[in-house]
Structure 1
């Protein structure tokens, strides 16, 4: 029932609308106009006040044709850079790529396109459907900021699907980690590096000694941590008076995240203090874990729908977070669906048209399955 050419054309049209994180306004306007042409009015929230961007999250509510539980489908509007002036190319091999100097934007406009095409099919075929809610978020690529600032009391849906997962259609994420963002600060003492270095206290050196004593990388099968950014000092001839490192910790288990975070904090403070520096640690909880199983309604519905259209179902655990993490954390069971996007966040990004088609077919199948069970 999915119109292949219409879907591919829609996707290729949308990726040409620049929407890098914080600058989703043009794509927001596109979606508002798209749904307005079909009699729907979008509701934009005030998330831009918190992100500093030019768009808020966008919600569309669709009255069902039958009395049934509402379902939420969600995808994010923003992309990473280089994401301006994207020129998609459809190859003879059935793969859509960029021209090679930008990303493609299938992360996550493939998800958006699948939702729009599924709705188009419902309308043109006169099919029944439950009440639907479509949520298009901003700044997902900046730490899920759009989803984190959305007011979930506005939703009526009690199950949800995010179309933003790795893997081919039929892949369903049932487990993902919780995460802490951690900033480590060392304050030392400045001095001239050539005249009186002994009067200084080098914060960069102290930071290095502390980091060397701290765990990093794979901690166990479900837990990791990392140090990703370091900043410090003023000039090569000044003993560095300050140093900052941005890191993270994540785990599939909340108690392991808490335990690792305490270990990182305690070790850092002890080491910095031992070497004469002043330590400071800032911990920000970014998102909760997802822990679903095959028997949960949200998973069972998607799995049965996927099998019904000939997909191989694969339930997986992942080490990354998504908007599904935030939705789950707001007591709405939410599965992240694999959509076939590949080599994302690179200029080699691509998606197969067959996967794009299956994405739309799966959204449609979930909707139809929800009112026949």
Structure 2
């Protein structure tokens, strides 16, 4: 049987759309307060669905682990010692916006202009200029009351459709494709249960980026800090000279943090930041949660030192207050690991060229599962998947971009087999 060229491959965009709509209707929000893995049982529901679908494609040995990971292998169609390529997406969605009762809205042949959602919210071109390049495309939005979940169910659908297409077209020459679906990426635990020895992959790609034709080659390095102020609570009626109100120290601490610079709302590009995102407590104890982000890993220690100094100063201002700062490592800039395997990026660029899509190398003001996988020794760039306005009720996805991402993944797998076969 002659090999099928990627330019001749007719992708089932209708099936890809149907997959995506099924997946986003399932609420899989991660729970940052949970002590279990996965953090929400809802992720297991989607995992079971995907495992069943992969098995129905004819893939043998599909595994749904006790930790909720889905792992499967599309077998090679070429002989020889060829590299294993892993495609990674995450099942969970962000807890930062409502995610129950997602009602996706499909806009075929987008005519341009602002998009009015059923609840009255508007996706405005002025705030989302990429819409200007999407006239004629098929877009998927929500009804304006929930996020869509394209982060990362667009990636999930792309990988699933690529696997299905490869199983239907054994004439496409390629090496093994390891399908990997993780849990709890949105709360920093996406790779906690991934066994790299079991994966036995040469390279991996997270399908978790925005737009079309993007290869994310750098991410933030990231730490989290919990600052706990401890006071002394007593009934207000007898509190004179006895109460120590920890909320006052916490308020002074937050007020002392950078506000005109080094915050998410005042930075862009390669600028790092200190971000306070949660305050919880009362008179007796107040906890302040922060994240530290920088493309320069060494700067994280400088940020942490400044947080410690400001916290101690705030505690000293409120007599009797004690303070403790706990720093937790989250992930590191994936650039540092990609240098070990430059083909991970160069072949991705070549695959985009082969399908007629121009591409760019991008930096990510955030992190992916690939950040952690790369640090652990598995080079893992991040690839675009048609996501837009993520973590928001104004989120949408572009089906045309998702189709290109699916073709790109198939061509990328073919190139890896060709290079090493």
Q: TM over 0.5, yes or no?
A: yes
8 Å CA contact retained: 1:71, 1:133: yes
Residue aligning to 2:398: 352
1:25 aligns with 2:36: no
Deviations 1:320-367 (A, max 9, x none): 111111111111111111212112222222112211111111111111
Deviations 1:70-89 (A, max 9, x none): 10100011223533333323
Residue aligning to 1:8: 17
8 Å CA contact retained: 2:341, 2:379: no
Aligned-partner Cα distance in 1 for 2:43–2:412: 28
Deviations 1:205-231 (A, max 9, x none): 122223333446527843211111112
Residue aligning to 1:87: 103
How many residues are matched?
Answer: 357
Q: Which runs of 5+ in 2 are unaligned?
A: 1-8, 31-39, 111-137
The 1:201–1:99 alpha-carbon spacing in structure 2 relative to 1, beyond 3 Å, is: closer
Q: Which moved more, 1:220-229 or 1:312-321?
A: 220-229
Report deviation, 1:293.
Answer: 6.2
Deviations 1:207-260 (A, max 9, x none): 222333344652784321111111232xxxxxx232211111111122111121
Aligned-partner Cα distance in 1 for 2:318–2:312: 10
Residue aligning to 1:53: none
Residue aligning to 1:63: 75
8 Å CA contact retained: 2:144, 2:393: yes
1:106 aligns with 2:150: yes
1:73 aligns with 2:87: yes
Q: Which runs of 5+ in 1 are unaligned?
A: 48-55, 234-239
Residue aligning to 1:230: 279
SS of residue matched to 1:134 = strand
Residue aligning to 1:290: 334
1:205 aligns with 2:248: yes
Aligned-partner Cα distance in 2 for 1:116–1:271: 51
8 Å CA contact retained: 2:59, 2:72: no
Report deviation, 1:196.
Answer: 3.8
Residue aligning to 1:248: 291
8 Å CA contact retained: 1:45, 1:150: no
8 Å CA contact retained: 1:287, 1:321: yes
The 1:185–1:14 alpha-carbon spacing in structure 2 relative to 1, beyond 3 Å, is: closer
Aligned-partner Cα distance in 2 for 1:279–1:84: 38
Aligned-partner Cα distance in 2 for 1:31–1:10: 10
Residue aligning to 2:63: 43
SS of residue matched to 2:73 = strand
8 Å CA contact retained: 1:35, 1:41: no
Report deviation, 1:174.
Answer: 0.7
SS of residue matched to 2:253 = helix
Aligned-partner Cα distance in 1 for 2:276–2:28: 29
SS of residue matched to 1:340 = strand
Aligned-partner Cα distance in 2 for 1:196–1:295: 63
8 Å CA contact retained: 2:217, 2:363: yes
Q: C-alpha root-mean-square deviation of aligned residues, in Å?
A: 2.2
SS of residue matched to 1:150 = coil
1:299 aligns with 2:345: yes
Aligned-partner Cα distance in 2 for 1:190–1:5: 61
1:331 aligns with 2:369: no
Aligned-partner Cα distance in 1 for 2:254–2:392: 30
